[in-house]
Structure 1
Amino acid sequence: MNANLENMKYKRVLVVGLGKSGIAASQAMLRLGAEVYIQDSKKEETVDAQLVAFLKGRGVRCYFAQTPPDMGAFDMLILSPGVSPELPFIQEAKDKGAEIIGELEIAYRIGSGNYIAITGTNGKTTTTTLVGEIFKAAKRKTYVVGNIGVAVISASMDAASEDWLVTETSSFQLETTRYFKPVVSAILNLTPDHLNRHHTMKAYGEAKAKIFANQRDDGYLVINYDDKTCYKLASDCQATIVPFSRKNQLSFGAFLQDNRLVIRNKQGELVDICGSDELKIIGTHNLENALAAAAICYFAGIDAETIGSTIKSFSGVAHRIEFCGLIEGVNYYNDSKGTNIDAAITAIRAIEKNIILIAGGDAKGQTFDEFISQFNGSVKKMILLGRDGRLIAEAADRKGFTDYVYCKDMQECVNKAYELAEPGDTVLLSPACASWDMYDNFEQRGEHFKNCVSRL
């Protein structure tokens, strides 16, 4: 859409949430001449003092641990991804005529560049990072942004029309979009997650499907053919649907044939990308991520040789089945990004056997019976921590898995794992839970795990 930037001048804008995206949105709105207000649930004394001084010095009215008295005063609310649109004061502002959008949407409106948008319950960060690497290898000016940790708006305002924004998009970011329209969108998979926010799988899927809502026949949707719940989302899509499959050979799209990653294009030609045994990233889920990345980049116009060579050299991302070391015959892996059951099961399957699993945290409304059922003998022992570790223990008891212990913090978990492990075992941090009960984010949790391992 890229509305005239002048449209923001003098608008009364409330930015809700002072995380990375909220800070970036506030700075952008100030740059465009809007009248900016801030609301955050934290108390002022817990917020960075220099940031508060900067905002107040620019005339920003800040509401810490309180809501503005007149929610009818604002033209627009920009929500950070962690903020639910269902909060009463946000609903009040909406009822009084304010437009409610997120940082992704405002970045799209006021910035430039071509968007690649990637979503899914799992694999987003790996696929987004890989796509970004392929675009850079193809000598395209590329920004890798979004849920991956870089605010979209911080890049979009500086991007030129020919630049590319490879964007990891969460359901939280997508639910507040209105005009957002990527050139290529991708939905990698769909399994239960964030049900404490979305309440139902139907609503969660609808939030994900907004990624292609504005695409037409000049755009592409890359989507997982093997995940039928996911693939059904494409029934309303008006873009060209590009399926990818690890299990089936397709008449169009990306798939495996004779242990090769290949793409069958619109002309029916078979385009070879690389061998499946040439990937450095382990696990069948990473084959799917690589197939999705290959399809995204091919239909964005990048040649097969560049795609294949980059996939072969890609060694993965931090906190996703990240190798941390071999100590006395025991491997240690950090999968702190395994913040839901499906992600943790994926990590367990990638390692396959003799696992000492560290799990627990903020369950986000999940139940864990199915999680325990998927161990299939791979997990020898389980070490639980965090607020909802007890929910995993209760499920384990119901399923007859009793070889677990509780620990009070990460250091104790790692020490206990070291004590229990035998040569040939793998200690895996894959919590199946969010980190918010003990840490600011999964990255902080993963770094703490790695530091604990390094002390061994």
Structure 2
Amino acid sequence: MPRESVTDIKDKKILVVGMGKSGKAAVQAMVKLGADVSVQDNKKKDELDPQLIAFLEGKSVTCYLGCEPEDMSAFDMLILSPGVSPDLDFIKEAQASGAEIIGELEIAYRIGHGKYVAITGTNGKTTTTTLVGEIYKAAGRKTYVVGNIGVAVISKALAAEDDSWLVTETSSFQLETTKDFQPEISAILNLTPDHMDRHKTMENYGKAKAAVFRNQTPEQYCVINHDDEECMKLAKDCRAKVVPFSRKTTLDFGVYVDGDTIIIKDEEGKITEICRPVELKIPGAHNLENALAACAIAFFGGIPAEVIAKVMREFNGVEHRLELCGTIDDIRFVNDSKGTNPDASIKAIEAMKENIILIAGGYDKDASFKEFVDAFDGRVKMLLLMGKTATKIKDAAEKAGFTDSIILKDMEACVREAYRIAQPGDVVLLSPACASWDMYTSFEQRGNHFKACVQALER
């Protein structure tokens, strides 16, 4: 059964803010349920998809495009897209007038069906969510892989049944607009500085992430990275049963690596062997952590160990995350466009080990690049930079004594220059350490452009 009657939505005056994927899906769902729907987006009518405009006009949806509604007291509810800050003046005005402010994840949870696995963290969310989804599917469960991974939750929640599982990648932006959201299993993979332009402080960022377990009960589970001090601090306020995972420490309870084997130790102390880390096809210590988290989510979600082990051995990773997309003249080209913050790119550099020609730079999220540059540590032989942060990263590199860097105008120039200077055995790694929004609409578009540029070299 849905957690809120869909009849509660009928005739409710709802403003959907932001016409990205989740916003579009929210509009479609609210129209279907009979709400009085309006939309707002900073883009003007001629900047949006004509098919979207035709749908909105065909359904008599009131549109505020390139502007804001004058009377915010007219709305009962605002549904915010993840990229929209709740701190905007017109949203605060609506809240002060009595409107409820929530996000697409929250409304999907309320009016949809199914049980939730919610996975968050600074890095590794997409890989872990995809892996968990594959394990749940292999176990024969009705499974939808949704959320920040690119599929709007509400688009599947209404189609889900009570015994369905929605394996959900949840960002801090999505979580900060939840109220009742309560997953059966939550997970926080790690916590390092990101989105400081939005959250301002690590305390605010951590608070947003902690919303993933805020409503859980002692009968439910929260999977936490035992090796991450910031994660463990958050776990102190968790009422759910905390399941730690560690690649460094032997645990009395949880998931860990013992010698050359991934081990699960349950509440009774019973040990179950899953597989060996060397059997994983996804490279890097960070991916071992992702695999451990996926093991915990699946095992304590009731999935048999043999199913978990089989999928773990077969899983090839996800697109745009350490994706080998070509080898030319014994030079490997690796697409890590999903490296949208310094910590993610540090992990990519560590996974590739050495002889790296690194392509980086992009939208500025007010991050520091000191630790990113420190991670070069003999691994990176040349740094090719583009985008808004190019000069900022170059300055950080030179301050640290790394002077082999060039600023170029775009992706094509970076790929061509990387190929020109690369030697057999080198790795050309796109791992920007930044979001894509200065030059691309998404990290997927950026990664696909990188792959197209590599393919052009082969012609």
Q: TM-score, normalization: structure 2?
A: 0.99
Give the aligned partner of residue 316 of structure 2.
Answer: 315
C-alpha distance in 2, partners of 1:142/1:109?
18
Give the aligned partner of residue 42 of structure 2.
Answer: 41
Residue type matched to 1:114 in 2? K
Which digits, 9 at most, give the CA deviation of each residue in 1:6-64, with x for residues without a partner?
10111000000001100000011011110000000101101111211111111100000
More deviation, 49-58/156-165:
49-58
SS in 2 for 1:144: strand
Give the aligned partner of residue 145 of structure 2.
Answer: 144
SS in 1 for 2:16: strand
Give the aligned partner of residue 385 of structure 1.
Answer: 386
Which digits, 9 at most, give the CA deviation of each residue in 1:95-135, with x for residues without a partner?
11100000000000000000000000000000000000000
Give the aligned partner of residue 400 of structure 2.
Answer: 399
CA contact (8 A) 1:363 1:432 kept: no
Gap runs ≥5 in structure 2: none
Which residues of 2 match residues 269-288 of structure 1 at below 5 A?
Answer: 269-288=270-289
Q: CA RMSD of the aligned region, Å?
A: 0.6
Query: Which consecutive aligned stretches of 4+ in structure 1 deviate over 4 angstroms post-superposition?
Result: none
Displacement after TM superposition at 1:406 (Å):
1.0
C-alpha distance in 1, partners of 2:193/2:120?
14
SS in 2 for 1:308: helix
C-alpha distance in 2, partners of 1:286/1:301?
23
Give the aligned partner of residue 446 of structure 1.
Answer: 447
C-alpha distance in 2, partners of 1:87/1:389?
29
More deviation, 362-371/142-151:
362-371
Which residues of 2 match residues 206-221 of structure 1 at below 5 A?
Answer: 206-221=207-222
Give the aligned partner of residue 344 of structure 2.
Answer: 343
Displacement after TM superposition at 1:363 (Å):
2.2
Residue type matched to 2:315 in 1? F
C-alpha distance in 2, partners of 1:231/1:118?
16
Residue type matched to 1:7 in 2? D
Residue type matched to 1:183 in 2? E
Gap runs ≥5 in structure 1: none
Give the aligned partner of residue 102 of structure 1.
Answer: 103
Residue type matched to 1:178 in 2? K
Which residues of 2 match residues 56-135 of structure 1 at below 5 A?
Answer: 56-135=57-136
Give the aligned partner of residue 9 of structure 2.
Answer: 8
Give the aligned partner of residue 21 of structure 1.
Answer: 22
C-alpha distance in 1, partners of 2:90/2:220?
37
- Length, aligned pairs only: 456
Displacement after TM superposition at 1:76 (Å):
0.2
C-alpha distance in 2, partners of 1:137/1:449?
32
CA contact (8 A) 1:114 1:162 kept: yes
C-alpha distance in 2, partners of 1:137/1:160?
18
Which digits, 9 at most, give the CA deviation of each residue in 1:267-297, with x for residues without a partner?
1011111111100000011100000000000
Displacement after TM superposition at 1:172 (Å):
0.2
Q: TM-score, normalization: structure 1?
A: 0.99
Which digits, 9 at most, give the CA deviation of each residue in 1:181-211, with x for residues without a partner?
0000000000000000000000000000000
More deviation, 369-378/145-154:
369-378
Which digits, 9 at most, give the CA deviation of each residue in 1:355-377, with x for residues without a partner?
00000001200121221112111
SS in 1 for 2:193: coil
CA contact (8 A) 1:25 1:103 kept: yes
Give the aligned partner of residue 239 of structure 2.
Answer: 238
Residue type matched to 1:246 in 2? R
Identity in percent: 61
C-alpha distance in 2, partners of 1:75/1:406?
49
CA contact (8 A) 1:367 1:391 kept: no
